[in-house]
Amino acid sequence: MCGIIGILSKDPSLPLATITYECLTRLEYRGYDSVGVAALGEKGIEVRKAKGSVEEFAKKYNVFNMRGEVFLGHTRWATHGQPTDYNAHPHLDCSGSIAVIHNGTIRNFVELKEELISLGHKFKSETDTEVIPHLVEEFKKRGMDTFTAFKTAISSLKGTYAVLAVVKGEKRIYFAKNFNPLVIGLGEKAIFISSDIPSFLPYTKTIVAVQNGDVGYVSENQIYIENNGVAVDVRERVHQVDWDASSASKEGYEHFMLKEIYESPEAVMDTIYGMDSDRTVEEVVKRLEESKRVIVVAAGTSYHAGLYFSMLLQRYGYTSISVVASEFYNVKTNPDDTVIAISQSGETLDVILAIRRFKEYGSLVVSLTNVIESAVARESDFKLYTRAGPEIGVAATKTFTSQLGALVYLWAKLVGEKVNLEKVGEVIRGSLNLSGEARKVGEELSKKENAYYLGRGLGVPLAMEGALKIKEIAYIHAEAYPAGESKHGPIALVSKGFPVVFVNTGELFEELQSNVQEMKARGAVTFGISVNRKLNTDREILLNVEDERLNPFAVAPIIQLIAYYASVSRGLNPDRPRNLAKTVTVE
Amino acid sequence: MKAVVLAAGKGEGLFPFTQKEQKESITVLGKSVISYVLEGIKKAGIREAVVVVNENGKQVQESVNVDLSLEFVEQKRPGITGAVKDGMEKVGEDFLLAFGDVIADPEFYVSLMNIYAMGARAVFSLVPVYEGLQTYGLAKIVGDRLEVVKEGSTLALAGAYILPYGDFDDLLEYFSRISPMAKYFIWSGNWIDIGFPEDLINAVEMLLKSAKTIVSNNATVSKTALIGKGVIIEDGAVVEDYAVIKGPAYIGRDAYVGSYSLVRDYSSIEEKAVVGAYCEVAHSLIEPYAEIGSKSYVTYSVIGKGARLGASVITSNYPAVIVRGKVNKLGALISSGENISHGSVLPPNFKK
C-alpha cells in the first residue's frame, strides 16, 4: 500500500506545496517509510524525496518552498526495494522530464526493466515503478504523443496499480487505475487526484469516480477518461460527497481491525509468493539445516507465531527453543545456533536487544519482519519478510496469519514436506465465511470477565494467541494452557458459567474431548474451534480443512474475529486498546 | 444518485400482525421502521428515493417523516425481483437499493457511498449472522468475489446495495452476475432485519442499549415515580405516582404509565399508548394507541397499534419457539386493533 496525491492548480496564488504536504499527512496511514514530492513548473520538474515520515521529510527538505503549477506527492510502503532516498517516489525518466508515482505492484517489471536497459535506459532505483517513466520516455521517443505513450506504457504493465505521471511542458496529470484506489476531486481552485477522498476533503466535495481499467488525464479545463479505448462520459462519474466521508479510508468497515482480518487471504498469499521468489529463503534453509539449534525470539503475537514454528521443528527432530524477547538474557546461544527474530514492525526494542546479544555469542540471525529494512532486519544476517502491508489496528491480525504463512513455508522447505500453500487463501476465506459463528462466541464471551483457552499440540500456541487477542482488545482476562495441564491447577477456578474455549486442531482428539467433559462437569460453558471433527462443546465452530498442515490458517481468523466481536459488543474500540501501542520501542 | 426502497413485502414472518399493518410502518422508538432506512440514505447524501409499496402503501407513506423527495410506486411485477425492477425503471441509472425493513446505523448506508465513490461498479453489504440462517440471503467469499449461496456461509446480504441499472430476471442471479465487478464490506455496527417478532424485540434492545436518560421538560413525571438509567421520556408523556421506569426504556409522546407500574429492560411504550396501573412490562414493544389493562404482565411481546389488553392479562414467554432469537423466550404478538379479554393467560408464541 502507498498513498498518492496529484494536485493541479487553477489559481497561481494557491500554496500548492503546503496543500500537498497536508494531503500527504492525511495519506500517511497508507505507508510511512518514505516520502517524495515532485513540482512541475515552467522550468521543468523538481523532485525532493527521502526516507522517513512526512513531517521529518517536509522539514528537512523544506518542501514548502517548492514552486510549480502541478504537484505530485507520494508516501511509500516498500514492497520492491528498500526504503531509501533513491527508492522513494517520484521516479524520473533518463531526461528528468517525466515524473511518476505509483501505488501497487508491477509483476512483470523485471522483464520490462531488462528490455529498457538494453535500449539504453539508465535506472536509479530498485523499484518496480521506475519502469513506467522510462516506458513513457521510450514510446515518446518513438514518435507517440504523450497520452498515447502513457497509454501504451500502461498497457504493457502486468499487475495492480494506481499511477500518476507529469511531463515537462504539459500542465496535465496523467493517470491510470487497476485495482489500487484512485479518485479525482474537482476543486474550484485546484484539481486533486488521490488514493482516497479524505485526503482532499477540506478542499472539495465534488469527486469523479475512477474505475478499474481507466486511463486518462486531468488538465485545467478538462477531465478525460477512457476505458478499453472508449471515451467515458465523465459527467456520469461526478458525485457530490454529501455525506461524512471522514471514515472512507476504512472502506466500509467500522474498524481497521475487521478490515485487516478480511485482508488476510491476500496478505498471506502475498507473503507466500514473496517467500517463493526470495532467494534468501534457500540460503536460510541451508543455514538452518546446518544449525545445532534454532532459537526463535519474539514478543507478543509474533512470539506465538514463533512458538508454532518452534513446535513444528521439534517434531522433526530439530532442537528449537522459543524465547520471549524481553527474557532473552536467560538464553546463551552458540556460534552453531541460528536465531530467528520475528517482529511485525521490526522496531521492537526487546527483539533488537536480544539480537545484539545473540550476535555477540556468534550466532547467525535471520529476521522476519513486515517492514522492509526495519531496525530488526538491518541488524540481521538474513532478512525475510511478510508482505501483509501496513496494519493500522493495534492488535496484530493479518500480520500474525502472514507470519504463520512465512514460517510454515520455511518449515516445509526445511523438512522437505510438500505442502500446497496455494490453498491457504481459500482456507482463510472459509473461516471468514463463518464469522457469524465467531460473532456469537465473541458476544457470549463479552459478558464474562475471565476465560480459559485450551488446546493440545499445535493448538496451544493458537490458544495462547486467542487469549492474548481477547485480553488486548476486549479486556477480558484470559489465560491459555495446554489442555492436559488444566488439571494441574487452573481447573480450580472453573465453576458454573466459567467460559472455556477449546482450540481443537484434531490432535489428541479423545484426550481433548475428556478435557471438555471435565470442564462441563464443573459447570463451565464450553466453546470449540474445531478443525474437521466436533468436540461437542456447548457452542462449536467447525472448520473444514483438507490438509491438516493448513489448520492454523483456518483457526487464526476465527480467534481474531471472536476477540473483535467481544470487544465491539462491549462497546469498545478494538482499533485503539487502552495502554497499548502498535510498536513497543521501550524495554 | 437516487435510491429504491422496498416496502412491499408480505411480512410472512410476522403474520398475522402484518396482515393488518405493513412491516415498514411499525413504530420503534418513535419512528417507523422505514424511517430508519430513509434517514440512513439521507445521511449517505441521497435526496430522492422511489419507495415501492403494495396495497398498504398509504400506511407506509403516512408513517414517514423524513425530509427527502419521495415517490411512492405500487408494485406491479411479482416478487422481490419485480419490486426492484419497478423501482429501478423510475431511476434509470446506478441506484442505491435498500430494503425498507432494516434498522441500522446511518453509517451503514454511508459506507456504501464511500466505496461507490472510489469507482466500484456495484457495492454489497454483508453482516455476520448466527441464528435462523435459512431466513437470510447468504453470500460466500470465494476468491476475490461473492457467491450467493443457500448454505455454507454465515454472511447475510445486509439489505443495502449499490447496483448498476441493468436487465435481469432474478435479483440474486443479477447479484452473482455483477459480483466480479463489485466490492463488498462487512458491517459490524447496529443492524437488524425485521422479519420476525423477536427482531422487533431485539431492535428495541439494540436501540436502547446505548441510550442515555433524557426526560422531556414537557412530560409529566410524578415526584414519586422512579426513573432509572437509559430512559427516554418524550413530550406530553405522563408517568404516574410510584411508577418505576427502570429502563432502559422509551416512553413516547403523550404515552401514559399508570401508578405502581414497572417498565423495565428494553421496553418501548410508543406514542399515546397506555399502560394501566400495577403492570409490569419488559422486553416489549407497545405500539401507538395500544392499551394495557391494569395488573397486566407483558414480556417479550409486541402489541399492535390501538390493540387493547384487558385487565390482568398475562403473557407467558417460556419455552418458546424462536427463529432468530438470542433467548428462547417469546410472548404474545397482538395485531393492530385486536382485543384480549380480561384475565387472559396467553401461552408463549401466542398470536392474534
Residue A65, judged by CB atoms within 10 A of its CB (0-12, 13-18, 19+), counts as exposed
- Residues A221 and A288 reside in one and the same domain: no
The pLDDT-based confidence of A31 (bands split at 50, 70, 90) is confident
B187 to A252: CB separation less than 8 angstroms, yes or no: yes
Sheet holding A337-343, edge to edge: A319-324, A293-298, A337-343, A364-369, A382-385
Q: Does the CB of B156 have a partner CB in chain A at under 8 Å?
A: yes
- Region(s) of chain B under CATH 2.160.10.10: 200-346
Mean of the pLDDT values across residues B11-29?
Answer: 96
Asked if residue A402 has pLDDT above 90, the reply is yes
Per-residue pLDDT reduced to its tens digit, A320-363:
999 999 999 999 999 999 999 999 999 999 999 999 999 999 99
- Residues A125 and A238 reside in one and the same domain: yes
Distance (Å) of CA A455 to CA A428, A481, A500: 20, 7, 10
Q: Does the CB of B116 have a partner CB in chain A at under 8 Å?
A: yes
d(C-alpha A247, C-alpha A539), whole Å: 35
- Region(s) of chain B under CATH 3.90.550.10: 2-195
How close is the nearest chain A Cα to the Cα of B308, in Å? 36
d(C-alpha A12, C-alpha A70), whole Å: 10
At A553 the pLDDT is: 98
Q: Which residues pair with B232 in a beta bridge?
A: B214, B250
- Residues A400 and A445 reside in one and the same domain: no
B118 to A181: CB separation less than 8 angstroms, yes or no: yes
Mean of the pLDDT values across residues A430-438?
Answer: 97
The pLDDT-based confidence of A247 (bands split at 50, 70, 90) is confident
Per-residue pLDDT reduced to its tens digit, B33-83:
999 999 999 999 999 999 999 999 999 999 998 999 999 999 999 999 999
How close is the nearest chain A Cα to the Cα of B113, in Å? 8
B117 to A248: CB separation less than 8 angstroms, yes or no: yes
A258 to B188: CB separation less than 8 angstroms, yes or no: yes
Q: Does the CB of A571 have a partner CB in chain B at under 8 Å?
A: yes
Q: Does the CB of B121 have a partner CB in chain A at under 8 Å?
A: yes
* A2 tagged catalytic: yes
At A441 the pLDDT is: 98
How close is the nearest chain A Cα to the Cα of B271, in Å? 29
Per-residue pLDDT reduced to its tens digit, A465-518:
999 999 999 999 999 999 999 989 888 899 999 999 999 999 999 999 999 999
- Give me the residue from B128, B186, B210 closest to A253, CB to CB: B186
Q: Does the CB of B216 have a partner CB in chain A at under 8 Å?
A: no
Asked if residue B5 has pLDDT above 80, the reply is yes
Closest-CA residue of chain A to B132: A436
At A82 the pLDDT is: 83
Asked if residue A586 has pLDDT above 90, the reply is no
Mutate to test the interface with B, among A435, A541, A564, A575 (most CBs of B within 10 A): A435
Residue A578 lies in a domain: no
How close is the nearest chain B Cα to the Cα of A432, in Å? 8
A177 to B119: CB separation less than 8 angstroms, yes or no: yes
At A327 the pLDDT is: 96
Q: How many domains does chain A contain in total?
A: 3
Mutate to test the interface with B, among A182, A195, A243 (most CBs of B within 10 A): A243
Mean of the pLDDT values across residues A257-274?
Answer: 96
Per-residue pLDDT reduced to its tens digit, B247-261:
899 999 999 999 999
At B100 the pLDDT is: 97
Three-state secondary structure string covering chain B: CEEEEEECCCCHHHCCHHHHCCHHHCEECCEEHHHHHHHHHHHCCCCEEEEEECCCHHHHHHHCCCCCEEEEEECCCCHHHHHHHHHHHHHCCCEEEEECCEEECHHHHHHHHHHHCCCCCEEEEEEECCCCHHHCCEEEEECCEEEEECCCCCEEEEEEEEECCCCCCCHHHHHHHHHHHEEEEECCCCEEECCCHHHHHHHHHHHHHCCCCEECCCCEECCCCEECCCEEECCCCEECCCCEEEEEEEECCCCEECCCCEEEEEEEECCCCEECCCCEEECCEECCCCEECCCCEEECCEECCCCEECCCCEECCCCCCCCCCCCCCCCCEECCCCEECCCCEECCCCEC
d(C-alpha B8, C-alpha B85), whole Å: 13
- Residues A307 and A447 reside in one and the same domain: no
Residue A555 lies in a domain: yes
* Average pLDDT score over chain A: 95
B181 to A212: CB separation less than 8 angstroms, yes or no: yes
Residue A252, judged by CB atoms within 10 A of its CB (0-12, 13-18, 19+), counts as buried
A209 to B119: CB separation less than 8 angstroms, yes or no: yes
Mean of the pLDDT values across residues A19-40?
Answer: 93
**Domain, as residue range, for A463:** 434-573
CATH number, domain at A299? 3.40.50.10490
Q: Does the CB of B321 have a partner CB in chain A at under 8 Å?
A: no
- Residues A368 and A439 reside in one and the same domain: no
Per-residue pLDDT reduced to its tens digit, A116-171:
999 999 999 999 999 999 999 999 999 999 999 999 999 999 999 999 999 999 99
Long-range contact pairs involving B282-287 (C-beta distance under 8 Å, separation at least 24): B283/B201, B283/B204, B283/B205, B283/B329, B284/B201, B284/B204, B284/B331, B285/B28, B285/B200, B285/B201, B285/B204, B287/B26, B287/B27, B287/B336
Instruction: Report A:158-187 residues touching B (Cβ under 8 A).
Output: 177, 181-183
Mean of the pLDDT values across residues A415-423?
Answer: 95
Asked if residue A172 has pLDDT above 80, the reply is yes
- Residues A398 and A525 reside in one and the same domain: no
- Residues A123 and A223 reside in one and the same domain: yes
Q: Could you count the other beta carbons within 10 Å of the beta carbon of residue B296?
A: 26
A433 to B118: CB separation less than 8 angstroms, yes or no: no
* A582 tagged catalytic: yes
At B213 the pLDDT is: 94
Which CATH class, in words, describes the domain spanning B2-195? alpha beta
Beta pairing class for A364-369 and A337-343: parallel
The pLDDT-based confidence of B287 (bands split at 50, 70, 90) is very high
Short-list A155, A136, A134, CA closest to A146 = A136
Residue A309 lies in a domain: yes
At A578 the pLDDT is: 83
Residue A47 lies in a domain: yes
Residue A584 lies in a domain: no
Q: What percent of chain A has pLDDT over 70?
A: 100
Residues of B in contact with A183 (CB under 8 A): 117-119
A433 to B185: CB separation less than 8 angstroms, yes or no: no
- Residues A16 and A35 reside in one and the same domain: yes
Q: What percent of chain A has pLDDT over 90?
A: 90
At A583 the pLDDT is: 74
Q: State the fold for domain B200-346.
A: UDP N-Acetylglucosamine Acyltransferase; domain 1 (2.160.10)
Q: Work out how many CB contacts closer than 8 A connect A with B.
A: 124
- Give me the residue from B125, B128, B143 closest to A436, CB to CB: B128
d(C-alpha A109, C-alpha A126), whole Å: 10
Apex CA B91: angle with CA B88 and CA B95, to 5°? 70
Residue A402 lies in a domain: yes
Residue A319 lies in a domain: yes
Mutate to test the interface with A, among B188, B191, B193, B202 (most CBs of A within 10 A): B188
- Residues A395 and A284 reside in one and the same domain: yes
Closest-CA residue of chain A to B109: A252
d(C-alpha A497, C-alpha A448), whole Å: 9
How close is the nearest chain B Cα to the Cα of A288, in Å? 35
Asked if residue B325 has pLDDT above 80, the reply is no
Asked if residues A503 and A466 have their Cβ atoms less than 8 Å apart, the reply is yes
Q: Does the CB of B208 have a partner CB in chain A at under 8 Å?
A: no
Residue A428 lies in a domain: no
Asked if residue A79 has pLDDT above 90, the reply is no
- Residues A485 and A552 reside in one and the same domain: yes
- Residues A276 and A377 reside in one and the same domain: yes
Closest-CA residue of chain A to B130: A436
**Which are the contacts of A411, defined by CB distance < 8 A and separation ≥ 6?**
A309, A312, A313, A417
- Residues A317 and A398 reside in one and the same domain: yes
d(C-alpha A207, C-alpha A138), whole Å: 33
